[in-house]
Chains A and B, each alone.
Chain A
Amino acid sequence: MTAKKVALPNLVTPNTPVIFNPEKCVGCNHCVEVCQIDVFIPNPEKGKPPIILHPDECWYCGCCVNDCPHPGAVKFNWPLQQRGYWRDKETGEVFRLK
């Protein structure tokens, strides 16, 4: 809690349609290219995961994750209100996408 306090406007939300794994992402920016609406921009630091700049324009097509050439580098992250449910037919237990 020692971090410098800054004044920010309310953030555009939901704002994390994907989560990058910096251990596996090599910053190839393939996702930046396949995204038809430019949700991402390349990271100014080469080799690092892209920055999510326009999350409010995402149509959740998933191409960034589907086409990523580095397995595990990027994971899809559904907005909370888009997370669906299912149930076990035998036990009736209901699950929700985590």
Chain B
Amino acid sequence: MTTWHDFLLREGKVPDWPYPVNYEAGQEIEGDVLVIGGGIAGCWAAISAARCGARVILVEKGDTIRSGAGGPGCDHYCDIPTNPLSKVDPDEWAQEMTGPYSNGIGTQIQCREGYDTLLEYEQMGAKIRDDKDEYLGVEGRDEKTKLMASPRQNKDHCRNTVLRVWGYTFKPALKKECKRLGVRIFDRVMVTGLLNEHGIPGNRVVGAVGFNNRTGEFLVFKAKATILCTAGNHSLYVLNTELSGYNSFRSRTMTGDGFAMAWRAGAELTLMETTGPLVLGLGFRHTWYGGAGDASYENVQLVDANGKKLPIPTQGWRDGSMPDAFIPLLPTIREGVLKGEYALPFYGDFPAMPPEEQRATWYMMLREESTSRIIVDTYSAAGFDPAKHQLMSYQLLEGDSPKQWRVPGRGGVLVDWDLRTSLEGLYAAGEQMFAARDHSFCAATGRYAGRKAAAYAKETTEPVISAEQVSREKERIYAPVKRSSGLEWKELHAGIGRAMQYFCSEYLTDSLLRLGLQSLEEIEEEYVPKLYALDPHKLMRSLEDLSLLTHAQIIIHASLARKASSKLLNFYRIDYPEVDPQEWNKYLVIKNENGKVVTRMLPQYFWGDMKEKYEAHNRDYQGVYQGK
């Protein structure tokens, strides 16, 4: 008996809710630093703040042990040029990685401190080297340090800025370290709103409220400093809630809660107008993670059905390319297929690799990355052997992702060199920031925000929360459980997704975007009051929908405000066709000021000289964690 209906048929009744439900009743928790989101950035922020002497509260929607996009693992630790194998200067590499509309602040932090986070992972008990000599002879393995350099952006070992790691060991180590340092962890708690001093948006942030998604319990967190470390938003444009497994690089829990919270609290956000095609297990290599088995991953040569090599870089040592290097080549390959030059389907030619490289790719790299460990294990158990077998690739077979099925892009909270947002007391790290990057970026920026928030907490006054704001938020949270009919979360989610597909997708015009806003307002006024939730879990999904709704509105407001097209942002306004005109080659910053949308512009590279600024803000870095 495993499924719900098995239980029902056998027992003649549905199972009781397994946790004691206690809506609204709750507790107030007080600390120096509150971290919202227990993924990679959040755990690092909590650990760092605790090491700096702060009393830390960490709140996580799932369970910190495996939650977040980085919960299941991480195969590559990228852009850590202070590692001993590196052949590049960290500050120069940070510059190199910082193009238009990127995040120079976070990238500089990643390049300077990313390797330090990796060493600290090791101190926490995670594995970062081939200390058992399992991968002797693998290209990039350094005998002295037993670190394994990756071929990513590393043609013929010219850079060594990326290391292959055993990321499956990371997340449990982080949780253990949080516990060791006395971080108070609240798992299964969804934070729904930030608290401002005197309850007025735009004021200093003094905490947050949320509820337990198993018991319904209400929680009020009061803190001197708060760090937003929640994730992006994967499912905004997705109508079918049962499709979550198709693009399994992100889980269902990532619903833009942080953007919505920051917006309602009055913080500034930027790049919110960017969206891009959602890869529904179509074409792009990360299909692999969806279990579909696209073998065209790093180091593996793709061949056609007749064994003919495809002109796609292998991301190996001889070409050193990045995972998306094949995208511009696809139209030519498609043409070749239609002319009979290449035969479908394609295969990843594992047997053509030297045996040690087969092992390093299949058994190490792919078993350590996010959701692919279970793929490797189930395929291996079913008989797949990289020494004999070629894994099918679904390039072209799956077609292109429809342009209306999208994901929000680089938008996020605006931060300064302390990773402080535009609001006093509120910091942000990881994917919560604008133009965020990968695992090591989240680790390094989380750790950095943790120490900056702890330093602020030492200097600041006691926070005072507004009882009125708390009760307003409480009313908002529990409204859906007071109804037992109306609109369920899945339908609301689909309704929001459809409005975005119609009015804020491939075809962008002022009038379409305004129709979109109107449609979302109608949803807010007519349908949200009908939302119902039958248990605390569905209450969480309902509140996530409200995050989606706010996030959708921010995207449309930002899209309306950018009156130009941009190739760099993949943003095309039919009514403003000029692409990247000089006067619009800027970051659009947006915030909610007393219900009014306010925007301003920031120039490219507004963060100034990265090396100089970083050093000016971190003179104490060498000693900051010593003995902790």
CA of A61 to CA of B66 in the docked complex: distance in angstroms?
10
A60 and B371 contact, CB distance less than 8 A: yes
Given contacts A52-B2, A82-B291, A85-B392, contact A63 B244 (CB under 8 A): no
B2 and A20 contact, CB distance less than 8 A: yes
B374 and A62 contact, CB distance less than 8 A: yes
A87 and B347 contact, CB distance less than 8 A: yes
Given contacts A61-B371, A63-B72, A84-B392, contact A37 B252 (CB under 8 A): yes
A61 and B241 contact, CB distance less than 8 A: no
CA of A53 to CA of B15 in the docked complex: distance in angstroms?
10
**A77-90 Cβ-contact flags toward B at 8 Å (1 or 0):** 01100111111111
**B434-469 Cβ-contact flags toward A at 8 Å (1 or 0):** 000000000000000000000000000000000000
B348 to chain A, nearest CB (A): 9
A41 and B18 contact, CB distance less than 8 A: yes
B170 to chain A, nearest CB (A): 13
CA of A56 to CA of B378 in the docked complex: distance in angstroms?
21
- Is A57 located at the chain interface by the 8 A CB criterion? yes
Residue in B65, B242, B244 whose beta carbon sits within 8 Å of that of A34 in the complex: B65
B526 to chain A, nearest CB (A): 26
Interface of B is mostly: loop
Given contacts A11-B5, A20-B2, contact A86 B248 (CB under 8 A): no
Residue of B nearest to A87 (CB): B390
CA of A16 to CA of B7 in the docked complex: distance in angstroms?
13
Q: Which residues of A contact B213 (CB under 8 A)?
A: 38
CA of A57 to CA of B391 in the docked complex: distance in angstroms?
28
B71 to chain A, nearest CB (A): 6
A33 and B65 contact, CB distance less than 8 A: yes
Q: Which residues of B contact A41 (CB under 8 A)?
A: 15, 18
Q: Which residues of A contact B66 (CB under 8 A)?
A: 34-36, 61, 63, 67
Most buried by B among A66, A86, A95: A86
CA of A11 to CA of B537 in the docked complex: distance in angstroms?
19
A59 and B371 contact, CB distance less than 8 A: yes
CA of A36 to CA of B382 in the docked complex: distance in angstroms?
27
- Is B245 located at the chain interface by the 8 A CB criterion? yes
A89 and B291 contact, CB distance less than 8 A: no
A87 and B371 contact, CB distance less than 8 A: no
Count of residues in A whose CB is under 8 Å from the partner chain: 57
CA of A84 to CA of B62 in the docked complex: distance in angstroms?
29
B390 and A36 contact, CB distance less than 8 A: no
CA of A51 to CA of B65 in the docked complex: distance in angstroms?
21
Residue in B1, B62, B389 whose beta carbon sits within 8 Å of that of A87 in the complex: B389
A83 and B349 contact, CB distance less than 8 A: no
Residue of A nearest to B294 (CB): A84
Q: Which residues of A contact B244 (CB under 8 A)?
A: 56-59
A54 and B2 contact, CB distance less than 8 A: no
CA of A88 to CA of B378 in the docked complex: distance in angstroms?
17
- Is B474 located at the chain interface by the 8 A CB criterion? no
Residue in A18, A36, A48 whose beta carbon sits within 8 Å of that of B1 in the complex: A48
B62 and A86 contact, CB distance less than 8 A: no
Residue in B1, B7, B72, B388 whose beta carbon sits within 8 Å of that of A61 in the complex: B72
Given contacts A34-B63, A36-B66, contact A86 B245 (CB under 8 A): no
CA of A12 to CA of B18 in the docked complex: distance in angstroms?
20
CA of A63 to CA of B375 in the docked complex: distance in angstroms?
11
- Is B351 located at the chain interface by the 8 A CB criterion? yes
Q: Which residues of A contact B15 (CB under 8 A)?
A: 41, 44, 51, 53
B392 and A36 contact, CB distance less than 8 A: no
B16 and A19 contact, CB distance less than 8 A: no
A38 and B214 contact, CB distance less than 8 A: yes
A57 and B252 contact, CB distance less than 8 A: yes
B1 and A12 contact, CB distance less than 8 A: no
Known: A62-B371, A78-B291. 12 other contacts (CB 8 A): A35-B62, A37-B253, A44-B15, A44-B18, A50-B2, A51-B1, A51-B4, A61-B66, A79-B291, A85-B392, A86-B347, A89-B351
- Between A and B, 6 residue pairs with Cβ closer than 8 Å are A33-B63, A37-B62, A52-B4, A62-B377, A63-B71, A78-B291
